[in-house]
Amino acid sequence: MSLDAAHSQSRMVTASGRYSPQVSGNRWMVVAGHPLAAQAGARMLEAGGNAVDAGVAAGICLGVVHPDMVSVAGVAPIIVHLARPRKTWTVSGIGGWPRAARVEFFQKRCGGQIPPGILRTVVPAAPRAWCAALARWGTMSFAEVAASAIECAERGFPLSEFSAMQIQANQERYQRWPTTAALYLPGGRPLRAGDRLVQSELARTLRTMAGAEAKARGRGREAGIEAACDAFYKGEVAAAICAYHRREGGLLTPEDLADFQVEVSAPSTSTFRDIEVATCGFWCQGPALLQILNLLEPYDLARFGHNSPPYLHLIAEAIKLAFADREAYYGDPAQVKVPADGLLSKAYAEARRTLIGERAWADMPPAGDAYGLGAVRNGAARAVPSVEAAPNVMDTSYVAVVDAEGNAFSATPSDPSVDSPVVPGVGCVVSPRGSQSWLDPDHPSAVAPGRRPRLTPSPAIAFKDGRLLLPFGTPGGDVQLQAMLQVLLNVVIFGMRPQQAVEAPRVASRSFPDSFWPHPSFPGRLLVEGRITPDVTNPLADLGHAVQTWPEWEWRAGAVCAILVGPDGTLTAGADPRRASHAIGW
């Protein structure tokens, strides 16, 4: 299939506003936030690669074909599940602050702000995360998995309707930097749907990495992949990044890049009845999903009824409790103490559950005592009401793969092109994920040298009775875990097939500090998709929720992708029509 033909499939929303066909097979499945990324993964599987080869190919391709939401030099948290031996790993695809970064720097030099631009830059983690996963669990070379991304960058590809909408809506923000405007606003106008986007510099970056691999071919596959990675972090690409930072007053140095490594570790896990869920660690928000599931476990959710007022009330209140703990405790475990065992314990959930009442919390509840396992931490405060407007966040994408051997890949690459300038000589933005840090030195995710910001992108994989059940994830910032929770419950409680589960209308609480600078809070706010009718929203308001209605199919409600593995191994995917998600199976 040609690139143009594949793009013709990217119009996921029909006249009725839905994309209903389910895609199933019994050999392999890939689902991603863009059709060309799904095709990039499918090419690897058709060529004999495994789930990791396909996931890395799709992930790198997302940075090319979905640049409004993902950067090749961005973040990429990854979960890999191996069928034999049965083992699950995470890759910490988030980089730390440069050595020169301090809270005091931003307080004194930036007026107490973490401003848009290169001062938000942390060490870009995605290239090393992709390479680490590929070298350790894949079978192919970097050049092979990057081939589709390089082709799309060099030849160009027709911009999707969703990406064109984002660029149009954020035109003023793209105009802030000449390098960014030149790429996305050629001739002074934003790219339109169907316009061919060519990214020659980005293609050259990827070709530089592939060329370094080719020179090291004689030392073996893994050494070649490491050489490709070194070309980014220690070679020509690093030199271009650091030269731009020196010229523009940025903080990133050659030492910051050369010394960077990702962390490969076991996932955070918890059980929900006969389901086990794995997420990345407390350097991201992923474990909050586990906390929410612990809180909900004893309730007879099916009896409440799907999307009934009591069901949605319970979900919203559990989210608030978990996010209160996220605010109080979550941060880079390499630099801050996180009471992980306490936060994920069933006893702690039992104590916290006493705070769920018949009325909605009017703001974020106080954090719990995860050390003493008490319902409320001594001195814990609730959220401070904010009058600031919500940040206009463009966020993330997602990819999941299951191969014929039962291996699974789940990753949530991110970093939008609107928050920081395209770096000349590199062809993309370099991770502006510092926007997810704080300037309160007592906050667990405060700016500090080498500290990783608390990351919103949070892939997950669910298992049932010891077997692979559901790799799943979504874009959406603070909505990610909320959308993932509702889709997971749609599948395991209400028996929905994946496409039905991702299409079902959702709600999202905003009653906590936003993860993005300047971290506004909206006490009590509950956002509800318009397909949830007044016979539900009115009772929610009566319970104390500050209900606001989204459009019927709202892209900010997340774009969940998932692959359900049946007991007989049959694979069925859900691709969310709220954005240009796409599934391919065989």
Q: Which residues are catalytic?
A: 396
| Contact (CB, 8 A) for 583 and 42 | no
| Contact (CB, 8 A) for 418 and 181 | no
**Roughly what angle, to the nearest 10 degrees, separates helices 200-215 and 236-248?**
140
Structure tokens at 277: 């869920």
Structure tokens at 419: 């928050």
User: Alpha carbon of 2 to those of 7, 199, 412, 530: distances in Å?
Assistant: 9, 18, 26, 37
Residue with the two structure tokens 């949605």 = 312
Continuous H helices in 66-177 = 103-109, 126-137, 142-155, 161-169, 171-174
Structure tokens at 470: 């559901």
Phi first, then psi, for residue 386 (nearest 5°) are: -120, 145
Structure tokens at 296: 């909900």
Residue with the two structure tokens 């000449």 = 178
**H or E element at residue 256:** helix 254-258
Burial of 359 (0-12, 13-18, 19+ CB in 10 A): exposed
Helices (H) and strands (E) in the chain, counts: 21, 19
Residues with Cβ within 8 Å of 515's Cβ and at least 6 positions away in sequence, in order, are: 285, 436, 454, 456, 477, 478
| Contact (CB, 8 A) for 184 and 190 | yes
347 half-sphere exposure, CB direction, 13 A CA radius = 8
What is the amino acid identity at position 103? V
Residues with Cβ within 8 Å of 359's Cβ and at least 6 positions away in sequence, in order, are: 543, 544
| Contact (CB, 8 A) for 395 and 476 | yes
Q: Which of 482, 560, 452 is nearest to 95 (CA)?
A: 452
CA 353 – CA 340 distance, rounded (Å): 18
Structure tokens at 556: 């900010």
Q: Which of 81, 135, 91 is nearest to 406 (CA)?
A: 81
Measured from the Cβ of residue 259, the count of other Cβ atoms closer than 10 Å reads 14
